[in-house]
Structure 1
Amino acid sequence: MAQAQTNHATTEAPGGAHEDIGFPPFETETYAGQLLWLAITFVVLYTLLSRLVLPRLGGIIENRRAMIANDLDDAAAMKSRAEEAGTAYEAALAAAKGRAQALAQETRAKLSTESDANRKALEADLNQRLADAEATITSKKAEAMSHVDAIARDTASAIIERLTGKVPAPQKVEAALNQIKA
């Protein structure tokens, strides 16, 4: 079986010399330079932030704050206008309902008056027709009653002729009918 080969990474300096190199920030000889660059970097960053970035951020925040306040004021104004419009709508709706009810009442009264007038005219027409019909009936009845005597005379003569076989004298038939009426 083949032996496993392992590669070990070594930290050797070129040329095979083995020096112990440490992590540069932890080197005590470089502390002074590191602290100097830290101070320079801090001052530069602080200056950039305080002069450029922070005023822009402050302006953006202030703009947003003003925009939000403006939007809230606009929203409050719109809300009050909406409430006024709602109140005006309710008032207009109530007025329209009142007008509609008044118009309906007026129309109802007008139609009732017209209906009463039409009914009275129709009743008068019907009463007139009824009176005319009663007059016609009365005249027809009187006319029919005037013919009853002649019909009774003719009927009595026909019955007597049929029973006896002789035509009776008209005077005798008339006398008999007068006797029955009395």
Structure 2
Amino acid sequence: MAGQTHSTTEGTHEAIEVPASEHGASFPPFDSTTFASQLLWLAITFGVFYWIMKNVAVPRIAGILEDRKDRIAGDLSEANRLKDETDAAIAAYEQALAEARNKAHGIAHDTRAKLKAEHEARREKAEKELGEKLKAAEAQIAGIKTEALSQIGDIAGETTSALVEQLMGKAPTKTDLTKALKTAMD
């Protein structure tokens, strides 16, 4: 049957048959006659791949990891430096703010003290002027009172004289009038 040609109704097909001795009875990797060469090639391939991994791939990966580690460490140190600068800036800001508040309180206190002193000075001046005016008014009132009291005797004498004249028909004498007024005032 080797090398035979088959014809079919659909067309001509040529089939090639492989003799049984050429394709063996088992799968080639499981063929016990090739185990030694397979193990040799496995050892060579493993050794080459191990050498490539050890001398090429692992150093590159280690270099990349070291670069990343250095970059991360640098970024962390930069972040810490910037944090320290920020903390210092915040502390300086808070100190400046506290100084400004203290200065503002000092200015307000000084202004209050100055205004209070000015107000006190004006009040004292006004009180002094009022005291002087009050003394002048009291002196004027005392003068008017003294004058009125000095004239009260004359007014009382004239009034009494006019009343007595109206009631009696004749005016009293000056001595009688003076005596009567003295007795009434005591």
Q: TM-score range by the shorter chain?
A: 0.5 to 0.7
> Is the contact between residue 157 and residue 167 of structure 1 (CA under 8 Å) also seen in structure 2?
no
Kept after mapping to 1: 8 A contact 2:164/2:172: no
2:117 to 104, 113, 117: 113
Alpha-carbon shift at residue 48 of structure 1 (Å)? 4.7
Q: Does the 8 Å CA contact 2:165/2:171 hold for their aligned counterparts?
A: yes
Compute the displacement of 1:121 (Å).
0.7
**Alpha-carbon distance between aligned partners in 2 of 1:127 and 1:71, rounded to the nearest angstrom:** 82
Q: For structure 1, which runs of at least 5 residues remain unmatched after alignment?
A: 1-20
Report what 1:166 is aligned to.
Answer: 169
Asked whether the equivalents of residues 25 and 31 of structure 1 are also in contact (C-alpha less than 8 Å), the reply is yes
CA contact (8 A) 1:153 1:173 kept: no
Q: Aligned residue for 2:92?
A: 88
Equivalenced residue count is 161
Q: Distance in 1 between matches of 2:162 and 2:27?
A: 166
1-side partners of 2:165 and 2:33: how far apart?
Answer: 179
Aligned 8 A contact 1:153 1:177 in 2: no
Identify which of 151, 155, 178 aligns with 1:175. 178
- 1:10-54 Cα offsets, whole Å, 9 max, x none, are xxxxxxxxxxx8787665344235424433542453355345532
Task: Please point out which of 99, 103, 106 is paired with 1:99.
Answer: 103
- Write out per-residue CA displacement over residues 66-125 of structure 1, whole angstroms, 9 at most, x where no aligned residue: 112212321332244245435534553554355345434533442343133112212211
TM-score normalised by the chain length of structure 1:
0.62
Paired AA for residue 32 in structure 1: A
**TM-score, length basis structure 2:** 0.61
- Give the 3-state SS of the residue equivalent to 1:168 in structure 2: coil
SS at match of 2:171: coil
Secondary structure in structure 2 of the residue aligned to 1:59? helix
The reply to whether residue 141 of structure 1 matches residue 152 of structure 2 is no
